[in-house]
Structure formats: structure tokens, C-alpha cells
């Protein structure tokens, strides 16, 4: 059922170079006719979907990829390339909406949007309040992947397990400033969207003190492989990666600490300067189609917002809490918000200091 794949946010160097070269050649040497340009996280759509779309509609999709939302923003706003469709995370989409960089979607051209679950559309309103600019792609939680033979299940019920020294040098932290700070802020009892400078400094101090216990700062595939191979015991990771890890090592489990988690959502949006918005809307409608959304779900194994897909899944998959968390998780969850330029710059400064 699952295909061998790379990760959502981690693209191996060779693949990245190939993608970059292909994108540069395509963006500079091809006509925009019958071609749509997509900017997305690494390997976040089943490659067969692009082939099926081209076969059915005669529109080729050229993909440029990035690792983290901040990387996306830097390139997207530099103006070195023009995209017809982008995919990014909740708080970054909110930032782009606020800056007027996105075009309203004509949902009449995306009739399969009706397949989106009401619960996930309500969640999307946290960053797109009027649901004018986005189509959800995947969503999920942040938690702890751990080795059940070396880590006590009771320990991972709290984020404190990452800071108390018990598993020194066996910990993988996320190479993501928002995720890492969320863990520290939550451990300290602060809001994951705080703008309080003293609270952010306290979180940075906690992360700096923890640094000696951290084996590496990694994302997605790179993080889960550390646990699959037995080279680490604990990793802060996204839920879909945890499920993939289970398939490669049955000694692994996933927990959402009791202090709370962040519920993240990635979504598609059309840039204001898109040259082929009609192609983008056609592709979005294709992605929302139940059979195509199912292909992507079985390729990625993150939580799908497509209700038509969910309704067709068997109980075994639906009961897998690493993909579809218990309702209780929502009771103590944070959705990342865009915090403004000043706080964004503070985050960047503090994160650099932590990793220096």
C-alpha cells in the first residue's frame, strides 16, 4: 500500500539539485502555455498524480521544492521565479494573505472542494478566516516518536522527557524554530503563539540548556530513520512520519504529551502574480477528487482533510491514532499563528543563538 518515498520536508541533496536544475531550466526556457508551476514541500504529492493530470488535461506540472516555510518565503518574495500555485503551512499562509500576496480562488472552478471535511475547513479559518484563498492539503500533530524498549511510556506523557537529562544524547529535536520553540514554551506553561519577549527568551534559554543532551536537529525522514535504525531513542516528529516509522520498526510508538500539541495544516494557495491561475484551479480540483486524494494519502500518510477519502477508509487505518488523533487531542492544542515581523525576527535571532 505504501510506496517508498522521501519525506515531506527533507529532500536529499542529489534530488534537490536535480529538482533545482529542472525548475530553473523550465522556468527560464519554456513557454507558460499548458504548463503550471508549483512551489511545494519536498515530495509532498505522489509523482504519479502529475502524470495522470497531464494525461487527462494536457497540462504539465513543473515542481520546485523547499524544506521549511521560511525558505519558501525567502525565495517566493525574491521574485526570481513566478509560481501558479504554492503549498505552505498555516502561519506562513496567514502571513502571505496579510501581505496581499495571494489571489482569491474561484471555488466554482474547484467543485470537488465539496469533499473537504467541515472540521478541517473550520480549522483553516484560523489562517484564512473567510476561506477565500486556500485549499487544505494535509494536517496533523506534533508529538514524540520513541523506542518502547528503551523509553518508558510514562516518560513521554510530558515534554519534560526532552529536558530532564534522562535520555541525554539519545534525543532528536526538530530543525524548525517554530516547532522547537513550541515544545519549550509548552513545557514552561506558555502559549505556543506568545509574543511576550521574556517568555520567548525563557524558551530559548531552556533550549540552550538542553542542547548538550540533543544528538541532532533533524526533520521528518532524517529524524525517523534515526529511530528506525536504533541510533536514537526519542524524536520530536510529525504524526505521519511516526506512522511510516512503525512500518520499519515495530518497537516504535508515538505519543502526544499531556501538556498539549500543535495542530498544523498545510494548504495550497494561488499567488497574486500567477500567470496560469486557471490551470492552478484545475489542478486543485483534481487534487480534491476522491480517487486522487486517496492516492496522495496512501503516499504521504498524513491526516487527510478530504472527507470522501476518510469515509472510504477501513477501520484499521481510522483507528491509527498516529494518523487520526483522538478527539481529546483537540482540547489542548495550538494552531500556529503568524506573529508579525518583529517577533519573527526575534525568533530567528534566538534560534540562531540556540544552535550557535
Residue 330: per-residue pLDDT: 80
- Residue 202: Cβ within 10 Å count: 16
Task: Report domain 13-139+264-318's class.
Answer: alpha beta
Dist. CA 236–CA 351, nearest whole Å: 17
- Burial call 80-118: b when 16+ CB within 10 Å, e when fewer: eeebbbbbbbbbbbbbbbeeebbbebeeeebebbebbbe
Dist. CA 265–CA 183, nearest whole Å: 18
Dist. CA 320–CA 324, nearest whole Å: 6
- Note whether 120 and 139 are within 8 A (CB): yes
- Note whether 263 and 139 are within 8 A (CB): yes
Domains 13-139+264-318 and 140-262+323-355 share a fold: yes
3-state secondary structure at position 336: coil
Dist. CA 156–CA 261, nearest whole Å: 13
Residues 6 or more apart from 168 whose CB is under 8 A from it?
212, 213
Residue 259: per-residue pLDDT: 96
Going residue by residue through the chain, which has 356 residues, state the pLDDT in tens, using 9 for 90 and above: 333 333 444 444 444 444 444 444 444 444 445 999 999 998 899 999 999 999 999 999 999 999 888 889 999 999 899 999 999 999 999 999 999 999 999 999 999 999 999 999 999 999 999 999 999 999 999 999 999 999 999 999 999 999 999 999 999 999 999 999 999 999 999 999 999 999 999 999 999 999 999 999 998 889 999 999 999 999 999 988 898 899 999 999 999 999 999 999 999 999 999 999 999 999 999 999 999 999 999 998 899 999 999 999 999 999 998 899 888 888 889 989 999 999 999 999 999 999 99
Residue 332: per-residue pLDDT: 85
Q: Which runs of E-coded beta strand occur in 177-328?
A: 214-218, 234-238, 252-255, 261-271
Residue 33: per-residue pLDDT: 53
Using alpha carbons only, give the angle 12, 320, 246 rounded to the nearest 5 degrees. 40
How does strand 85-89 pair with strand 35-41?
Answer: parallel
Residue 29: per-residue pLDDT: 44
Residue 19: per-residue pLDDT: 44
Domain ranges within the chain, ordered by starting residue: 13-139+264-318, 140-262+323-355
**CATH number, domain 140-262+323-355:** 3.40.190.10
Residues 6 or more apart from 171 whose CB is under 8 A from it?
162, 210, 213, 214, 215, 232, 233, 234, 235
Amino acid at each position: 500500500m505504501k510506496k517508498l518515498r522521501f519525506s515531506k520536508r527533507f529532500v536529499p541533496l542529489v534530488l534537490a539539485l536535480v529538482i533545482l536544475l529542472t525548475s530553473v531550466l523550465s522556468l527560464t526556457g519554456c513557454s507558460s502555455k499548458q504548463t503550471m508551476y508549483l512551489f511545494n514541500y519536498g515530495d509532498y504529492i505522489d509523482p504519479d498524480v502529475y502524470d495522470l493530470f497531464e494525461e487527462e488535461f494536457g497540462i504539465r506540472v513543473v515542481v520546485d521544492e523547499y524544506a521549511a516555510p521560511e525558505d519558501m518565503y525567502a525565495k517566493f518574495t525574491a521574485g526570481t521565479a513566478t509560481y501558479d500555485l504554492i503549498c505552505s503551512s498555516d502561519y506562513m499562509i496567514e502571513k502571505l494573505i496579510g501581505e496581499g500576496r495571494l489571489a482569491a480562488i474561484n471555488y466554482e472552478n474547484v467543485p470537488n472542494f465539496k469533499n473537504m471535511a467541515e472540521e478541517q475547513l473550520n480549522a483553516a479559518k484560523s489562517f484564512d478566516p473567510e476561506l477565500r484563498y486556500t485549499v487544505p492539503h494535509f494536517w496533523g500533530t506534533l508529538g514524540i516518536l520513541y523506542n518502547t524498549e528503551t523509553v518508558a511510556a510514562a516518560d513521554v506523557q510530558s515534554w519534560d522527557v526532552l529536558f530532564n537529562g534522562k535520555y541525554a544524547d539519545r534525543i532528536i529535536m526538530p530543525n524548525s524554530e517554530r516547532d522547537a520553540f513550541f515544545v519549550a514554551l509548552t513545557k514552561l506553561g506558555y502559549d505556543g503563539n506568545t509574543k511576550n519577549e521574556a517568555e520567548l527568551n525563557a524558551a530559548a534559554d531552556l533550549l540552550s540548556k538542553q542542547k548538550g543532551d540533543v544528538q541532532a536537529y533533524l526533520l521528518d525522514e532524517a529524524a525517523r530513520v534515526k529511530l528506525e535504525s536504533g541510533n536514537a531513542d526519542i524524536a520530536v516528529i510529525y504524526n505521519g512520519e511516526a506512522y511510516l516509522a512503525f512500518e520499519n520498526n515495530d518497537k516504535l510508538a508515538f505519543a502526544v504529551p499531556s501538556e498539549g500539541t500543535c495542530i498544523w495544516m498545510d494548504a495550497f494557495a494561488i499567488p497574486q502574480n500567477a500567470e496560469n491561475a486557471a490551470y492552478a484551479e484545475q489542478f486543485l480540483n483534481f487534487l480534491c477528487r476522491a480517487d486522487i486524494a486517496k492516492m496522495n494519502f496512501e503516499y504521504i500518510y498524513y491526516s487527510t482533510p478530504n472527507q470522501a477519502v476518510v469515509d472510504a477508509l477501513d477501520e484499521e487505518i481510522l483507528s491509527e491514532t498516529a494518523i487520526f488523533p483522538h478527539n481529546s487531542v483537540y482540547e489542548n492544542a495550538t494552531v500556529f499563528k503568524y506573529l508579525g515581523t518583529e517577533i519573527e525576527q526575534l525568533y530567528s535571532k534566538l534560534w540562531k543563538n540556540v544552535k550557535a
